Amino acid sequence: MSKSVSPVILNHLIQFQRDEITGSVLYHIIAAKQKDEENRYVLVKIANAERSHYEKWKDYTGKDAKPRVFKIFLFRIISFLLGYTFTIKYMYQAEKIGIQGLNAIEKEVPEARAILADEREHENRLMELLDEERLHYVGAMVFGLNDALVELTGTLAGLTFALESTHLVALSGIIIGISATLSTAASNYLVAKFTMNKKALISCVYTGAAYFITMALMLIPYLLLPNSMYITACAVMLSIAILIILLFSYYISVAQSLPFLKRFGEMVLVSLGVAFISFIIGLAAKKFIGIDV
């Protein structure tokens, strides 16, 4: 038999129920795809914990709640692209933001805060046990991404004002970018081998892939915009660089529970600082060396 609550509080609790059953279904789906037995075990435990939370809220609502089908679909895609650790921690953050009116709820459901606190503590302990392979290579990804951002923002900015042609900058960028991708990946491989890393080749692939994808995204405006719109292309390229930094910083901050703003600020300052210096060098080279294209 359900416990009596007001209609407003009932609606809040039904939303809690839907969040919990949605999480339970999604975690079971992710767990089923795990090859690692320990990760599968932890994910099933989290899924079962979500189900038990659902049942607690059902004691008050007296109703069944259906999972959010679209949310499950969306997070399955996110899990495939960004990994299950990011997905779970992102869902956890979203749930915290979504819990509104808790003080009002406590008036009719005194144990609500204690229930939520117990749930989160339990889930946090379980999350710490997860061991996702791709997160072992975050350092390699940061190495590739950061190298691409620092080198290419500066290089492309300098070439933009030296060559004054989107087509020439794109051609130069492709040649420089591919060479730098191979060089950076090879350097990472040699460093990993030197430090006796048994997965040096995988680390090298992550580094090269991060560099190449970053390069490709930053070259898009030079490939698409008319030859005379080199200033616009440069501005768009810098915007893309900032967006890449924003998204990657957010990914790392969620997946590894690190401060977002500090990491984002550092990467933006370094990348744009190098771009500005290269811009000045490009102008100076054009004016004082006397080379014109």
What is the rounded CA–CA span in Å between residue 271 and residue 262? Answer: 14
User: b/e string for 36-53 if b means 16 or more Cβ within 10 A?
Assistant: eeebeebbbbbbebbbeb
Cα 244–chain centre separation: 10
Give the pLDDT of residue 224.
92
* Helix (H/G/I), strand (E/B), else coil: 6: coil
What is the rounded CA–CA span in Å between residue 50 and residue 240? Answer: 38
The tens digit of pLDDT for each residue in 173-197 reads 999 889 988 888 888 788 777 766 6
* Helix (H/G/I), strand (E/B), else coil: 50: helix
The tens digit of pLDDT for each residue in 30-87 reads 888 887 788 788 888 888 888 888 888 888 888 888 888 998 898 888 888 777 777 7
- Which domains does the chain show, CATH number per domain? 7-131 (1.20.1260), 134-289 (no CATH)
- More confident of the two residues 233 and 194: 233
The tens digit of pLDDT for each residue in 139-152 reads 777 778 878 887 88
φ/ψ bin of 101: left (φ > 0), alpha (ψ from -120 to 50), beta (otherwise): left
pLDDT exceeds cutoff 50 at 1: no
What is the rounded CA–CA span in Å between residue 281 and residue 293? Answer: 16
pLDDT exceeds cutoff 60 at 99: no
- Residue 134's pLDDT band, with cuts at 50, 70 and 90, is low
pTM comes to 0.66
Instruction: Give CB contacts under 8 A, 24+ apart, made by 191-199.
Output: 192/140, 199/136
Lowest average pLDDT, out of 93-97, 196-200, 271-275, goes to 93-97
User: b/e string for 243-266 if b means 16 or more Cβ within 10 A?
Assistant: ebbeebbebbbbbeeeeeeebbee
Q: Pull the structure tokens for residue 175.
A: 């040649």
Give the pLDDT of residue 259.
77
Contacts of 17 (CB under 8 A, 6+ apart): 54, 57, 58, 61, 63, 65
What is the rounded CA–CA span in Å between residue 157 and residue 276? Answer: 8
pLDDT exceeds cutoff 60 at 291: no
User: b/e string for 205-225 if b means 16 or more Cβ within 10 A?
Assistant: bbbbbbbbbbbebbbebbeeb
The tens digit of pLDDT for each residue in 9-22 reads 788 788 888 888 99
- Residue 236's pLDDT band, with cuts at 50, 70 and 90, is very high
The tens digit of pLDDT for each residue in 215-231 reads 999 999 999 999 889 88
pLDDT exceeds cutoff 70 at 2: no
pLDDT exceeds cutoff 80 at 123: no
